[in-house]
Amino acid sequence: MKLKYSIFILIISFFTISCSNNTVDEAFINQTTGRYLFNPDEIVEVYYADKNLQMKWRGAEKISPMVLGENKFYVKEMNEKIQFLKNPSDNKFYICLVPKEKGKSIEYNYRKLGEGEEIPSVYLKNKQYDKALESYKSLVKTDTAQTYIDEYKLNRLGYQKLRDKDYQEAVEIFKINAALYPESDNVFDSLAEGYYKNGDTINAVKNYKKALAIDSGNRRAKRFVEKYDK
């Protein structure tokens, strides 16, 4: 009985040590360290601490996946088993979700971003407005359901900058929104307000008039234009 118990403890100890230690070799570290595109405007960052795989995702700064075997890990925060594979179609590394069903083929889920490649919100955060606009334009084309970006999200961000008195930055955000949604009177109304608070009355009037051209019932735009014309 004591022998069986000792063997059982030994097996459990071995399993615990194996699962808690997710060290990998240098080649694997060099190949997989980086940022992966979780969705069109969100990333997963992969890094290593003392050769232990770590991840940053959705505000969690130190996710420690559990090793399951060679190049296979369990990420409890995602409730997924993952592995890192190079996609032969583009020769780039991906985080792949291990299929839950037997016999199902591997899909290349989250592509590793190239050097200097960013997501739209990071370009915006870095005040690279031209790159942000082009990146958002590409996103709008593919994200037809507006899951990751919509005019109201950008509008809220712009008004936050107005409240913080970052008027020029607010104007740049509203300009991007107006370029993305040129048929919305709301985006031109907001852009006009941004210009006005930034001391640019002429461009404020121009954009209030654009808002009125789309929706003649826009009261704020109408009041401002009438007051300016007088």
For residue 67, pLDDT beyond 80: yes
Residue 20: pLDDT over 70: no
Residue with tokens 């995602």: 78
Average pLDDT on 203-215 reads: 96
> Average pLDDT, stretch 67-91?
94
Q: Which pLDDT belongs to residue 124?
A: 94
Percent of the chain with pLDDT strictly greater than 90:
77
Q: Which residue has the tokens 């063997």?
A: 7
pLDDT of 211 > 90? The answer is yes
Domains of the chain are 2-111 (no CATH), 120-229 (1.25.40.10)
Q: For 90-105, b where at least 16 C-beta lie within 10 A, e where not — what string?
A: eeebbbbbeeeeeeee
- Secondary structure (DSSP) of 77-136: TTTEEEEEEEETTTTEEEEEEPPSSTTPPP---EEBPPTT---HHHHHHTT-HHHHHHHH
- Residue 168 confidence (pLDDT) above 80: yes
> Which pLDDT belongs to residue 75?
97
pLDDT band at 141 (very low <50, low <70, confident <90, very high): confident
* The 42-49 sheet, strands edge to edge: 34-39, 42-49, 52-57, 60-63
